[in-house]
Chains A and B, each alone.
Chain A
């Protein structure tokens, strides 16, 4: 079922020679604006029930404008948004709270603002009070609340009833970590019951943990719409993109998409995992000692070289990453045609599953400065449990057990 669709959505801010011309236009006089500034253009997508969609993009790409048009606070200039169901947004928690009123009165007010009538509010008030867990403070003025308490009440009222579409803007960090887990659980619960999630975030891991589809907005339009891994890799590549840099996307044999970017002064020649006997391996036992060997070719003289790698799980969430800057093995100025071999030796204390390694060549401590090459899914390997006791999870943290009776 289609829950929400955007057809050729666009938003332009118009300026007139004088504001009076704008006003004259309402009275039926035809006047052309002096300037039209398009923030968003040609946005098309369809969202179905139960999907979880991430919206990513750099600052100023138009994410907020898009969200405002989806929720209906901003009128689109072209196209239309069709919504079948109620949209709730956890955008600005505590919006419209009056500090002089009690928590309960504010919940009444906020819920009224969301369009609930008195009976409905009365019906879910006990749940809101219970969920917020602010105790006696619920009947005291909000100005006496800590900011965390205010967030709790605000989150509780924003999610008092399951909406068909829930928009979450970065605000996954609600209050203390206990409440974060609690609010996260509620979001998951809604999702299981069929709520579509729209999540705006810069945080790759929360996007990849929650979403099954990601829209990438760049320059006022959706430039990519696909699986989280693929889109997030592309997004990272865009961030790292510098002048003369290229972004290449390859589809690998197994159908996954590999993103490569970089300016090319230094390139990754080869990389592979080796066991202690120096034989290349594809399967790694839990806890096995392995070496990651990366051969780098310097094509043009560069002032500095840092090599970094990141192990990611099947969902693309980072498991472990570091680089030679942090490991204190940074190389200074390098001549063209130099070849280097790096060996990273570590114990694979990670859980059973499939992992990938992304590799980056850059300067300083992140790839955001100069980015020579960035390669996602550069290597894929599997971890199996051949000699350890059975366990679950992504980390191998073997305990010793003692039991006293």
Chain B
């Protein structure tokens, strides 16, 4: 464990330049470059807003902004895009860097941290643009929005723990790489992002309670849309799960790291 941290520390400038390089190479050779990272989720928001706002707008209590549904969508998208980006990239991380891992000696733990850093950077830019849209729609930022910082970190940690486990397993059992996107798709629709939670029938609500993203997305809604502080009680189980997954991810990573190169 100590070795992992030491590796991370001594390779800190490598991690930093890698994140920067990823960012730079995304901007090169396409005129909008990294903006696509923001345009993509915002376009999704626009599509949902156009198609579903008339159906769902009436059922969003507690805010008097006429764009309430758009605000709600954006808050949820902010959380989900970070979660899915980290998981999707961790999933194929070791396979994509297989050649590098076979040829060069460097602390492998830097790879997921490069993903983490670059996903956080993207999400930060998305956050800024979401806030800009909020202001345009007449929804001014409140102090409660500072809760976003710990929330973002929790989403990132949860995704990182899960992503590490899945990424390592995917090296050995490639089916994982096919299954996970489907599961993520299902999970997306089982999380109240495009619909308010109160439209879920009572008998299904108990099922939703097992979704670890639910309390996080709800907290995003509280903080960004309703101007409330998050429901800490509901978040407790998710935070606990996050810690367990992180520990499991690091443990599996440490055990598997020597064998990964054999299998790649």
Contacts and interface: CB of A to CB of B under 8 A. Distances in A.
A159 to B, nearest CB: 15
Contact of A73 (B24, B29, B101, B169): B101
Contact of A113 (B14, B258, B262): B14
B25 A100 contact: yes
A271 to B, nearest CB: 48
A311 to B, nearest CB: 40
B25 A75 contact: no
A87 B261 CA distance: 19
Interface string B236-264: 00000000000000011001101101100
B173 A105 contact: no
B13 A118 contact: yes
Interface string A79-101: 00000000100011001101011
A112 B29 contact: no
Interface string B101-114: 11111100000000
Nearest to B102: A73
B25 A74 contact: no
B103 A73 contact: yes
B80 interface: no
Given A109-B18, A112-B13, A95 B28 contact: no
Nearest to B260: A75
Interface in B5-25: 10-14, 17-18, 21, 24-25
A98 B25 contact: yes
A26 B10 contact: no
A75 B259 CA distance: 8
B171 to A, nearest CB: 9
B28 A23 contact: no
A92 B101 CA distance: 12
Given A95-B100, A100-B28, A23 B261 contact: no
Nearest to B26: A100
A72 B258 CA distance: 10
Nearest to B101: A73
Given A20-B173, A26-B255, A112-B14, A71 B21 contact: no
A101 to B, nearest CB: 6
A92 B251 CA distance: 31
B104 A95 contact: yes
A71 B103 CA distance: 9
A115 interface: yes
Nearest to A18: B173
B211 interface: no
Given A100-B25, A109-B18, A19 B13 contact: no
Given A74-B261, A100-B29, A101-B25, A26 B17 contact: no
Contacts of A72: 105
A141 B104 CA distance: 23
Contacts of B11: 112, 115
A95 B169 CA distance: 25
B99 interface: yes
Contact of A23 (B99, B172, B258, B262): B172
Nearest to B107: A115
Which of B25, B29, B169 gathers most chain A CB within 10 Å? B25
Nearest to B251: A26
A243 B169 CA distance: 46
Interface string A50-90: 00000000000000000010011111000000000001000
A145 interface: no
Contact of B104 (A13, A14, A113, A118): A113
A100 B24 CA distance: 9
Contacts of B259: 22, 75
A117 interface: yes
Given A22-B259, A23-B169, A75-B258, A109 B102 contact: no
A68 B21 contact: no
A19 B173 contact: yes
Interface string B159-178: 00000000001001100000
A108 interface: yes
A73 B14 contact: no
Contact of A117 (B13, B29, B100, B169): B13
B108 to A, nearest CB: 10
A125 to B, nearest CB: 13
B25 A113 contact: no
A13 B172 contact: no
A141 B27 CA distance: 13
A141 to B, nearest CB: 7
B261 A75 contact: yes
Contacts of A75: 258-259, 261
Contacts of A113: 14, 100, 104, 106
A20 B175 CA distance: 12
Contacts of B106: 113-115
Given A26-B255, A112-B18, A115-B10, A91 B103 contact: yes
Nearest to B28: A100
Contacts of A141: 28
Given A19-B173, A20-B173, A112-B14, A105 B24 contact: yes
Contacts of A22: 172, 259
Given A100-B25, A112-B11, 10 more contacts: A13-B262, A22-B259, A26-B256, A100-B28, A100-B29, A109-B18, A112-B18, A113-B104, A114-B104, A117-B12
21 contacts: A13-B262, A23-B173, A23-B256, A26-B252, A73-B101, A75-B261, A95-B103, A96-B104, A100-B24, A100-B25, A100-B29, A101-B24, A109-B21, A112-B18, A113-B14, A113-B106, A115-B10, A115-B14, A115-B106, A121-B13, A141-B28
Q: Which 9 A-B pairs have the closest CB atoms?
A: A112-B14, A75-B258, A26-B255, A100-B25, A72-B105, A118-B13, A19-B172, A100-B28, A19-B173
